[in-house]
Amino acid sequence: MITAAWVLRKANLEDSGLLVDIAIDGGKIKAIGQNLPIRGNEEWDLSGLVVLPAFVDAHVHLDQTLSTSFNKSGTLIEANELWNEEKRRLTYERYFMRALQAQNIAITYGTTALRTHVDVYSSGFWLALEAILDARKRQRDLITVQIVALGKGGNNPQDEKALQQALKMGADLIGGSPAFTPNPKKSIDTLFDLAELHDKSLDLHVDEVDDGRIMTLEYLAEKTLERGFKGRVTAGHCNSLSFADDATADRVMDKVKEAEINIVTLPSADMVQMGRGLKPSPRGLTPVKELLGRSINVAAASDKVRDSFNPLGSYDLLQTANLLAHASQLTGTHEIPMCLEMVTTRAASVLGLKEYGLFEGAEANLVVVNSKNLTDTLASVPERLGIFRKGQLVLRTVSRRVWTEGLVWT
Ligand SMILES: [Zn+2]
């Protein structure tokens, strides 16, 4: 009989009504099918538990996370003040330990790849970048980490120089927040110049405001086409799109679609920061339903986690998908699986990960969750019972609940 390193028996992949076996060997999914005639060196009978592709966090900030600065007012103004102050006293060791701890948390929730932004505009930024490069190296067998050099927007030679230095040190992509610069168009032009020069993709913070008049996304989409960067640009947040009039939003979304820009929505951070003081109080997220309706690739990610910008948030992408389903009202039967895709396959596509998903020949990155169907998976945010990365079992959860006898009917 054929053998494999692992065979997971009776897994529920897509609520199709059929339970399948998954054979894993050589780091890849060797076969998927009913009653596979393959013997596993190790076997696990899942008895109908759901198996998902491992999670991919398309947008986090490992330099800012798990902070000890507390934002009394909760506002963006105070958050920025606290973060700028905190950066002056953070050491390499502190950055390194925070990044490592955050990566560990992410892994325990079943995330096997993430993309982090790192500020590269303050003096001494290289401390944070160096620490995160080292944290990535330390856990390279457990998690794939991509690094975006987050500059001020390329509006001055100093910022350009910092971005170039960050790329030289090992950052993978160019980032920035053009809407927050004095000249957003010039900022976008400069970022494309740099991206062209260094042959890098762009991942920008875009229109992170609850004001529909601010719309740098449109210029970004036009330039993406003009500069030949189709499919190589990612735009995070894009909140103002939800506040624009219908004609503007439709026009911009058509251009985004044509330019094949990936949109990343950040439900926790956006709900915490957007729409403060507005009445009626909006949810503040980019219009996910409309973007998906145009077949634009949308991912959902953690963004800020336990820092001065967001004391909430987590690296649990099932929780993010749950928040997104609530905030964007993605509760139709066809929309439930989409919420899960936005933290797995759609996010993997943002990171450009190849051979990602649950199919024969794909890299065996998968999560067994304590749930029997997809709706329950999204609703109850169940425990991750087993996490595989490149075919290796990274973590298995074993827990037992014990009722006190006589108190509960079971
Ligand atoms: Zn961000």
CATH of the domain at 45: 2.30.40.10
Domain span at residue 292 reads 55-350
Same domain? For 367 and 266 the reply is: no
Same domain? For 113 and 161 the reply is: yes
Q: Give Cα separations from 1 to 24, 36, 37, 41, 226 (angstroms).
A: 15, 11, 7, 12, 56
Whether 339 maps to a domain, the answer reads: yes
Tell me which residue of 138, 118, 87, 23 sits closest to 391, measured CA to CA: 23
C-alpha 128 to ligand 1 mean position (Å):
16
- Residue 266 near residue 300 (C-beta atoms within 8 A): yes
Same domain? For 36 and 116 the reply is: no
Same domain? For 126 and 26 the reply is: no
- Residue 134 near residue 79 (C-beta atoms within 8 A): no
Q: Dump pLDDT digits (tens) for 339-374.
A: 999 999 999 999 999 989 999 999 999 999 999 999
Beta bridge partners, 23, equal 7, 31
Q: What's the start-to-end Cα distance of the chain, in Å?
A: 42
Residue type, 193: D
Whether 112 maps to a domain, the answer reads: yes
A 10 A CB-CB count for 256 gives 25
In the sheet with 298-300, reading across from the earlier edge strand, the strands are 55-60, 111-119, 144-150, 173-175, 202-206, 233-237, 262-265, 298-300
C-alpha 256 to ligand 1 mean position (Å):
20
Distance CA 330, CA 9 (A): 31
C-alpha 13 to ligand 1 mean position (Å):
32
Same domain? For 225 and 167 the reply is: yes
Distance CA 46, CA 9 (A): 6
Same domain? For 165 and 93 the reply is: yes
Cα angle at 353 between 318 and 335, to 5 degrees?
Answer: 40
- Residue 357 near residue 83 (C-beta atoms within 8 A): no
Question: Tokens at residue 231, please?
Answer: 């499919």
Residue type, 278: L
C-alpha 204 to ligand 1 mean position (Å):
9
Q: Dump pLDDT digits (tens) for 272-290.
A: 999 988 999 999 999 999 9
Question: Tokens at residue 44, please?
Answer: 């696990």
Mean pLDDT of the chain: 95
C-alpha 311 to ligand 1 mean position (Å):
14
Whether 407 maps to a domain, the answer reads: no
Question: pLDDT per position in the chain (410 positions), as tens?
Answer: 899 999 999 999 988 889 999 999 999 999 999 999 999 999 999 999 999 999 999 999 999 999 988 899 998 889 989 999 998 899 999 999 999 999 999 999 999 999 999 999 877 788 999 999 999 999 999 999 999 999 987 778 888 899 999 999 999 999 999 999 999 999 999 999 999 999 999 999 999 999 999 999 999 999 999 999 999 999 999 999 999 999 999 999 999 999 999 999 999 999 999 998 899 999 999 999 999 999 999 999 999 999 999 999 899 999 999 999 999 999 999 999 999 999 999 999 999 999 899 999 999 999 999 999 999 999 999 999 999 999 999 999 998 888 888 887 65
Distance CA 379, CA 402 (A): 24
Same domain? For 370 and 391 the reply is: yes
Q: Which of 14, 93, 208, 226 is catalytic?
A: 208
Residue type, 409: W
C-alpha 270 to ligand 1 mean position (Å):
10
> Rounded to two decimals, what is the model's pTM?
0.96
Residue type, 186: K
- Residue 90 near residue 325 (C-beta atoms within 8 A): no
> 86 catalytic, yes or no?
no
Burial of 226 (0-12, 13-18, 19+ CB in 10 A): exposed
Residue type, 378: L
Number of domains comprising the chain: 2
Same domain? For 344 and 259 the reply is: yes
CATH number of domain containing 329:
3.20.20.140
- What is the phi/psi pair of residue 171, to 5°? -65, 145
Same domain? For 183 and 151 the reply is: yes
Strand ranges inside 187-258, DSSP E:
202-206, 233-237
